Amino acid sequence: MPAEFDWEKLQVFVAAADHMGLSPAMVSRHVQDLEERLGTRLLNRTTRAVTLSHDGARYLETSRRAIAEVPADEWRAVIEVNLTGVFLVAKACIGPLTATRGSMIHLSSGVGDHGRPYWGAYCPAKNGVEALSEMLAGELAEAGVRSNAVDPGAMRTVMRAEAYPDEDPEGVPRPYEISDIFVFLASDESTGVTGQRFRARDFQWPDADEAP
């Protein structure tokens, strides 16, 4: 990380859905509450970056099944939490981030850039998040707002432990160990970087003479 990195400029708002999942009505109320506070504590004229992470943790394990076995209500629930939720909050954040020429960081998945068999609704939802991120990058380019997606990879979290109970957690990094990419995308170091997909575990800070 560059020595001159200015932590005072890094203001990140994390919009995370309840890990138990959000219904459409709950997402709407969440966004309405967010919008009521725009310009005050949550999102204001100094907000520089928004990390959008609507993660339906309780749906991951049950979602790992063939499409033919996915109930329609489960499909709708996973899409609402992991894709519609991201859309609603992203839409609410466009104004504040336009004012600061800020950055949106969309949390994707290892199954977010292709169709992986037996991953039910979760895989299509995460592919949708990456497509949405790229769309926003193009639509907001003239406004100076950046939009990128990050695949965090395996992390030592409760969600991961529930999905892979036989995995040795000692071989999986903690979330803070893969946080550099989020700091980079939230900072001015990533000016001009938009519409891309990053793998958090592969990220390395660019050399000073290569930085945007």
Residues taking part in catalysis: 122
How is residue 208 written in tokens?
Answer: 């000073």
**What is the edge-to-edge ordering of all strands in the sheet holding 49-53?**
12-16, 49-53, 103-107, 146-151, 197-199
Which regions of 35-127 does DSSP assign to beta strands (E)? 49-53, 103-107
Q: Using CA atoms, how far apart are residues 136 and 196, in angstroms rounded to an integer?
A: 11
Contact call for residues 13 and 39 (beta carbons, < 8 A): no
Are 40 and 69 contacting, i.e. CB atoms less than 8 angstroms apart?
Answer: no
Residue 70 DSSP SS3: coil
User: Which one, of 157, 56, 145, 155, lies nearest residue 105 by Cα?
Assistant: 145
